[in-house]
Every structure is written in C-alpha cells, then in structure tokens.
C-alpha cells in the first residue's frame, strides 16, 4: 500500500520550481521512489511529477560539452549517437542498468539524486568529469558530480532545487574510457561493485590525464586518486597498470552486505581497474 500524498503535475520548469519546498518530493521515473513509498521508507506530503517537463529532456552538444537533461531516461542514453561517441562508459552502464522496463522509466537525475553508492551512472560520469546543474527559482549552480554525491542517499541538492542537467567536456581525440560492473546475475542486477576509467594521452602516447571512479565500495562513488597519479607521464604497459591497480585499495572502504563481502569487493576493485586500463591500452594501441 502507498501512503497518502497530494499529487501535483506542473507543465513547465518554472511552475515546478515555484512549487518546490521542504514538503515536496520530485517524482521522475519512480523506479526508486515508488519502491521507497511502498516499503514505508518515505512518506512525502506532496509528490511532484516532473516527468512532463520538456526542459529536463534531451541530449545535445553545447559549448564543447555533452549536456543531458536530468529527465533523460536510461533507454534514451542507449540509442543516442552523442553518448556512444563521447560518453562510451555511460552507454555501457546504461546497457547494464536494470531491465528494459526499468530503463524506459528510470532517469539520469533520479539515479544520481537517489545517491545509492552502487548507482551505475555515477562512476562513468565521474570518470568523464561530469558536473550536475542544480536549478532553483533564484539561480543555477554547477557542482562536480564527485562532490554532489555526499554519502548513502545523500547529495548536495537543496529542497528548492531540481537537477536539471548533467554535462561533461567532450573528451579529447586522444582518449578512451570504459565501464565495468559485477552483479550477482548477468542482467537486472544491482552492482556488487562497479568502476569506470578515462585516460587521455599525449602525442608520445603517455598518459596526461586519468580519472578512475569506483562505486559500491564506499558510502559514495569515489575516485582512486593515487591510482590515477600512478598513470601520469607513463605509457599504459602491464607494469604501470599493475602499479595503478594495487593503489585502488587505498581509495575504498567496502562493507560486507547481502551482495558481497568487503574482502571480495577489495579484490574485485583491483581486478576491474586492471581490466579497464587494459581495455583502454588496447583501444589506444588500435588508434595510434
């Protein structure tokens, strides 16, 4: 049974922002929120349907960035050429999120604002250096995604804000990125652990920028900064990849839960980073 609530369904972003407040909970695809309501974990006074807001939809290239409206569904990510070309790890994550029915409803903003440590869109977006756009009646601010997600189901969003878009710089031509997820099944499974990496290299083939993000291994998705630093200035050979993979352990604080043990997650974090970097090295070898 669902609890009682008032239901409002604004037709424009301006109307939605005017209605927002501490007693109002936005409802996008409902694939997290309706479960929370049904299980009695949330009892909002007012639910505001934001799924009709056209301003939250669409994927575009703008001022050197790829911009995704917060209300973009996971299914839409899967078929969009800009995501395939400039957000490959996000495309990979979208293909592995839930099942087709969930992907048709679930939105990018919902995945990020829900702030599960295992949220599958988070590591790829963090690896791509994404920022979220938070809009209130008064102003719009941009926050780096790795700061936005602050803990288990905690973010920096305020009651008077909506997550209106997510954006990242178009990756340079000399770059590659990838996503990896381990679940208890091959499909329709929450991540036991997930990770994404992006590497940019110089014209001599040495790593000039690296971002590695790990999910479901700490209260929020984290960057493996020491592992990233170990790559800088080096070609991605077996020795460098191994050195980076060993440093991932430092960034994570995994726990035992129904899906896996902390020990397993620690081992798999290193394995995933090794595989991601090996894939990126293969891609680089094919391009140069």
Ligand X SMILES: Cc1cc2nc3c(=O)[nH]c(=O)nc-3n(C[C@H](O)[C@H](O)[C@H](O)COP(=O)(O)OP(=O)(O)OC[C@H]3O[C@@H](n4cnc5c(N)ncnc54)[C@H](O)[C@@H]3O)c2cc1C
Select from 16, 17, 33, 126 the one that contacts ligand X (CB under 6 A).
Answer: 33
**DSSP, residue by residue, 37-80:** HHTTS---SEEEE-TT-GGG--EEEETTEEEEETT-BHHHHHH-
Select from 17, 68, 94, 119 the one that contacts ligand X (CB under 6 A).
Answer: 119
Taking each helix axis as running N to C, give the angle between helix 238-247 and helix 262-287, from 0 to 180 degrees, rounded to the nearest 10: 150
- Supply φ then ψ for residue 214, to 5 degrees: -120, 135
Select from 26, 89, 123, 260 the one that contacts ligand X (CB under 6 A).
Answer: 26
CA distance 205 to 260: 38
Q: Which residue in the block uniquely carries the two structure tokens 């369904």?
A: 9
Select from 24, 25, 218, 241 the one that contacts ligand X (CB under 6 A).
Answer: 25
- Contact between 106 and ligand X per CB under 6 A: yes
- Contact between 109 and ligand X per CB under 6 A: yes
Coil, strand or helix: which one is 33? helix
Select from 125, 176, 190, 217 the one that contacts ligand X (CB under 6 A).
Answer: 190
- Contact between 216 and ligand X per CB under 6 A: no
- Contact between 126 and ligand X per CB under 6 A: no
Q: How many CB atoms lie within 10 A of CB 123?
A: 35
Q: Between residues 207 and 265, which has the closer beta carbon with respect to ligand X?
A: 265
Nearest residue to the partner ligand X, using Cβ: 110
Q: Of 97-105, 201-209, 237-245, 250-258, which segment contacts ligand X by CB under 6 A? A: 97-105
**DSSP, residue by residue, 78-122:** HH-HHHHHH-HHHHHHHHHSS-HHHHHH-BHHHHHHHT-TT-TTH
Nearest to 129 by CA among 85, 172, 182: 172
- Contact between 178 and ligand X per CB under 6 A: no
Could you tell me if residue 4 is left (phi over 0), alpha (psi between -120 and 50 degrees) or otherwise beta?
beta
Q: Between residues 70 and 87, which has the closer beta carbon with respect to ligand X?
A: 70
Select from 31, 91, 92, 284 the one that contacts ligand X (CB under 6 A).
Answer: 31
CB 45 to ligand X: min, Å? 13
Q: Of 57-65, 108-116, 232-240, 266-274, which segment contacts ligand X by CB under 6 A? A: 108-116
Q: Which residues bind ligand X (CB under 6 A)?
A: 25-33, 35, 50, 56, 70, 97-98, 102, 105-107, 109-111, 113-114, 119-120, 157, 162-163, 190
């Amino acid at each position: 049974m669902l609890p009682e609530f008032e239901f409002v369904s604004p037709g424009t972003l301006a109307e939605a922002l005017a209605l927002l407040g501490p007693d109002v909970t936005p409802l996008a695809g409902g694939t997290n929120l309706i479960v929370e309501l049904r299980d009695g974990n949330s009892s909002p006074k007012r639910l505001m349907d934001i799924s009709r807001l056209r301003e939250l939809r669409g994927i575009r290239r703008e001022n050197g960035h790829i911009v995704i409206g917060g209300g973009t569904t996971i299914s839409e990510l899967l078929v969009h050429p800009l995501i395939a070309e400039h957000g490959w790890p996000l495309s990979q994550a979208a293909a592995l999120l839930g099942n087709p029915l969930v992907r048709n409803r679930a939105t990018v903003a919902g995945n990020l604002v829900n702030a599960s440590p295992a949220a599958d869109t988070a590591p790829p977006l963090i690896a791509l250096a994404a920022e979220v756009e938070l809009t209130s009646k008064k102003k719009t601010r941009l926050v780096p995604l790795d700061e936005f997600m602050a803990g288990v189901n905690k973010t920096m969003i305020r009651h008077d804000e909506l997550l209106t878009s997510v954006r990242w710089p178009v990756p340079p031509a000399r770059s590659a990125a990838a996503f990896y997820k381990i679940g208890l099944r091959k499909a329709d499974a929450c991540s036991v652990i997930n990770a994404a990496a992006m590497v940019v290299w110089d014209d001599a083939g040495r790593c000039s920028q690296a971002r590695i993000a790990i999910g479901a291994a700490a209260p929020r998705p984290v960057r493996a900064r020491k592992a990233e630093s170990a790559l800088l200035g080096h070609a991605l050979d077996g020795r460098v990849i191994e050195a980076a993979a060993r440093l991932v352990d430092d960034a994570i604080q995994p726990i035992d839960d129904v899906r896996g043990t902390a020990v397993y997650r620690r081992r798999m974090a290193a394995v995933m980073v090794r595989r991601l970097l090996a894939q990126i090295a293969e891609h680089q070898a094919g391009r140069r």
